[in-house]
């Protein structure tokens, strides 16, 4: 579904992604772990199409399409979803209005008519229930005055609404108390299907107590230094990131 080959990305002449490869297949959940400043968010944003970065080398294919040639909104409409590490507030724009615009843009791309108001409201109600968020949140402006936990839950709620092929969740677990973490994990598990996939970007292995990944990758200094199954996360937890520094120095 997602194939990244030899990706090198820089910003202001500083290379951040230094030769990155990844293959994600339908039905899989991948976890990418790594210390702060290693390029995880940069990777997520480059996949989503943020323009600040310069792709120096490599390719990204999504369902056979060359992502690097597509606009941000086109990628999204094709079913790529990014759960933001720091979701931004949009004052005065209600969650309802935002989601309706978004859902209908994606429907339009698929050649479908806009969802009638009653069906849309029913969809909202269904997804709120699925994720377990209350009504008040969707009546407010997008992320405006939301707590850290609410923002992250809101990202998962949007993921549920848009039903993407591939979700990249950037540190959706960080800063959450255990209850909020469970809400997020529960959401991801519920949305898991044979025909979609998820990439979890995380700093801690804590989230992986609740979501069982098929593959775990350890990222360090702009590239993947180790890949394995869920046991790798545990190993990383016990040994700490210090271990990686040595690893990468010798590799």
Partner 1 sequence: MADSDKIIDEVTQSEYKYGFVSNIEADQVPKGLNEDIIRMISEKKNEPEWLLEYRLEAFHIWQQMEEPDWAHVKYPKIDFQDIVYFSAPKKKKYNSLDEVDPEMLETFNKLGISLEEQKKLTGVAVDAVMDSVSVKTTFQETLQEKGIIFCSFSEAVQNHPELVKKYLGSVVPKGDNYFAALNSAVFTDGSFCYIPEGVTTPVELSTYFRINAANTGQFERTLIIGDENSYVSYLEGCTAPIRDENQLHAAVVEIVALKDAEVKYSTVQNWYPGDKNGKGGIYNFVTKRGLAKGSNSKISWTQVETGSAVTWKYPSCVLMGDNSQGEFYSVAVTNNHQQADTGTKMIHIGRNTKSTVISKGISSGYSNNSYRGLVKMTPKAANARNFSQCDSLLLGDKCGAHTFPYIHTDNKSSIVEHEATTSKISEEQLFYLQQRGIDEENAISLIVNGYAKEVLNKLPMEFAVEAQKLLSISLEGSVG
Ligand X SMILES: Nc1ncnc2c1ncn2[C@@H]1O[C@H](COP(=O)(O)OP(=O)(O)O)[C@@H](O)[C@H]1O
- Residues forming the site for partner 1 (CB under 8 A): 48-50, 52, 71-73, 75-77, 81-82, 84, 87-88, 90-94, 97-98, 100-102, 104-106, 109, 114, 117, 141, 158, 162
Residue (88 or 178) nearer to partner 1, CB: 88
181 in helix, strand or coil? helix
Residue (75 or 215) nearer to partner 1, CB: 75
Give the orientation angle of helix 95-109 with respect to helix 117-131, to 10 degrees: 110
In angstroms, the CA 79 to CA 197 distance is: 11
In angstroms, the CA 42 to CA 159 distance is: 20
- Decide: 125 and 83 in contact? Cβ < 8 Å: no
Question: Which string of x and - marks every residue 34-63 that binds Mg ion (by CB under 5 A)?
Answer: ------xx----------------------
The neighbouring-strand residues paired with 218 are 33, 226
β-strands 29-33, 215-220 pairing: parallel
Least distance to partner 1, CB of residue 86, Å: 8
Least distance to Mg ion, CB of residue 57, Å: 22
Instruction: List binders of Mg ion among 78-97 (CB under 5 A).
Output: 85
Residues 6+ away with beta carbon under 8 Å from 68:
55, 59, 60
Q: How far is CA 241 from CA 42, 85, 86, 127, 206, in A?
A: 19, 21, 23, 37, 15
Using CB under 5 A as the binding criterion, the count of chain residues that bind Mg ion stands at 3
Least distance to ligand X, CB of residue 245, Å: 15
Least distance to partner 1, CB of residue 227, Å: 27
| The entry of ligand X, partner 1, Mg ion, none that residue 50 binds, CB within 5 to 8 Å by partner kind | partner 1
Residue (120 or 241) nearer to Mg ion, CB: 241
Which spans of this chain sit near ligand X (rule: CB under 6 A)?
11-12, 16, 34, 36-42, 52
Token pair belonging to 229: 């199954």
Least distance to Mg ion, CB of residue 32, Å: 10
Residue (167 or 196) nearer to ligand X, CB: 167
Least distance to ligand X, CB of residue 230, Å: 21
Residue (41 or 138) nearer to Mg ion, CB: 41
Q: How far is CA 238 from CA 224, 241, 242, in A?
A: 19, 9, 11
Residue (53 or 243) nearer to partner 1, CB: 53
Strand spans (E) along 52-211: 54-62, 65-66, 80-83, 90-94, 141-142, 166-170, 197-202
Least distance to partner 1, CB of residue 51, Å: 8
Interface ranges with Mg ion (CB under 5 A): 40-41, 85
């Amino acid at each position: 579904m997602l194939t990244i080959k030899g990706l090198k990305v820089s910003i202001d002449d500083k290379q951040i992604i230094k030769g990155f490869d990844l293959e994600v297949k339908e039905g899989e959940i991948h976890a990418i772990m790594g210390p702060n400043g290693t390029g995880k968010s940069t990777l997520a944003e480059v996949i989503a199409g943020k323009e600040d970065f310069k792709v120096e080398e490599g390719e990204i294919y999504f369902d056979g399409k060359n992502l690097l040639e597509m606009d941000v909104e086109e990628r999204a409409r094709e079913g790529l979803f990014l759960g933001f590490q720091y979701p931004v507030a949009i004052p005065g724009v209600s969650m309802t209005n935002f989601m309706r615009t978004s859902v209908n843009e994606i429907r339009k791309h698929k050649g479908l008519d806009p969802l009638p108001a009653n069906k849309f409201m029913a969809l909202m109600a269904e997804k709120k229930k699925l994720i377990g968020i209350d009504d008040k949140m969707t009546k407010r402006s997008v992320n405006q005055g939301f707590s850290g936990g609410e923002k992250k839950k809101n990202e998962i709620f949007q993921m549920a609404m848009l039903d993407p092929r591939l979700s990249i969740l950037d540190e959706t677990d960080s800063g959450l108390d255990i209850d909020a973490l469970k809400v997020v994990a529960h959401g991801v598990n519920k949305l898991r299907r044979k025909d979609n996939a998820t990439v979890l970007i995380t700093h801690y292995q804590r989230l992986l107590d609740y979501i069982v990944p098929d593959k775990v990758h350890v990222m360090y200094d702009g590239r993947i230094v180790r890949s394995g199954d869920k046991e790798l996360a545990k190993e990383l937890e016990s040994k700490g990131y210090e271990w990686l520094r040595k690893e990468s120095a010798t590799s």
